[in-house]
């Protein structure tokens, strides 16, 4: 996308070298329109055609992907770039606790702009698919578990299903524990 908009936004970069179009949240639509319509007057003059520019962008992307990897491009998968890193807040303060508190790294599908939103440590806190009156057919996903206490059996019990994309029931199962509060 940078190669597509670099020429179009060149005056912005000249006016403010710190300008960064990637901070614009809804930038995909104008880029998509440029790529589909390919207006000649917005083509970077260093390229003869839009096809040439887009091919250069693909080549640059392949070069970037392969820079630190061995083997063939054909062997690359998206999940190599998108590894979930769910860390407990205490493991940042006390790194030795990380192996007990943090979830294991997991290669995941998704992106910041997909229904299965996921990008490293950023992702959905839960995912629900349910229709009123059909709750028994609904699903719910949680990336880790319901408890924030690492000794609880519910601390990481949802993580494997989250990583595999397996549906888990929306409705609760039978009560396993009871907590009674008395004044």
* Within a domain: 156: yes
By residue range, what is the domain housing residue 102?
A: 80-164
Q: What is the pLDDT of residues 24-63, one digit of tens each?
A: 777 788 889 999 999 999 999 999 999 999 999 999 988 9
Q: Note whether 90 and 24 are same-domain residues.
A: no
* Within a domain: 94: yes
How does DSSP classify residue 46? T
Which of 30, 54, 73 is a domain's end point? Answer: 73
Q: Note whether 66 and 86 are same-domain residues.
A: no
The rounded distance, in Å, linking the Cα atoms of 35 and 39 is 9
Q: What is the pLDDT of residue 129?
A: 93
Q: What is the pLDDT of residues 70-94, one digit of tens each?
A: 888 888 888 788 888 888 888 889 9
Q: Note whether 95 and 65 are same-domain residues.
A: no
Q: Note whether 84 and 160 are same-domain residues.
A: yes
Q: What is the pLDDT of residue 75?
A: 87
pTM reported for the whole predicted model: 0.65
Which of 73, 93, 109 is a domain's end point? Answer: 73
R_g over Cα of the chain: 23
Q: What's the sign of the alpha-carbon dihedral 175, 129, 165, 78?
A: negative
Domain count, the chain: 2
Q: Note whether 158 and 86 are same-domain residues.
A: yes
Q: What is the pLDDT of residue 132?
A: 96
* Within a domain: 17: yes
The rounded distance, in Å, linking the Cα atoms of 63 and 135 is 48
* Within a domain: 182: no
Which of 51, 73, 95 is a domain's end point? Answer: 73
* Within a domain: 62: yes
Going from the C-alpha of 83 to that of each of 42, 86, 103, 119, 152, the distances in angstroms are 36, 10, 11, 7, 25
Q: Note whether 88 and 60 are same-domain residues.
A: no
* Within a domain: 8: yes
* Within a domain: 169: no
């Amino acid at each position: 996308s940078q190669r597509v908009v670099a020429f179009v936004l060149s005056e912005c970069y000249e006016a403010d070298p710190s300008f960064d179009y990637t901070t614009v949240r809804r930038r995909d639509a104008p880029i998509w329109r440029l790529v589909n319509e390919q207006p000649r007057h917005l083509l970077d003059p260093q390229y003869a055609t839009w096809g040439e520019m887009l091919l250069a962008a693909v080549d640059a992307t392949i070069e970037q992907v392969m820079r630190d990897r061995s083997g063939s491009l054909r062997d690359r998968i998206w999940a190599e770039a998108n590894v979930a890193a769910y860390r407990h807040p205490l493991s940042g303060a006390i790194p030795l606790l990380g192996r007990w508190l943090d979830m294991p790294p997991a290669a995941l599908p998704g992106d910041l702009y997909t229904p299965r939103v996921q990008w490293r440590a950023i992702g959905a806190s839960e995912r629900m698919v349910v229709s009123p009156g059909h709750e028994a057919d609904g699903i719910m996903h949680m990336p880790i578990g319901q408890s924030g206490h690492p000794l609880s059996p519910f601390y990481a019990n949802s993580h494997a299903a989250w990583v595999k994309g397996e549906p888990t029931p929306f409705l609760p199962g039978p009560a396993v524990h009871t907590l009674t509060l008395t004044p």
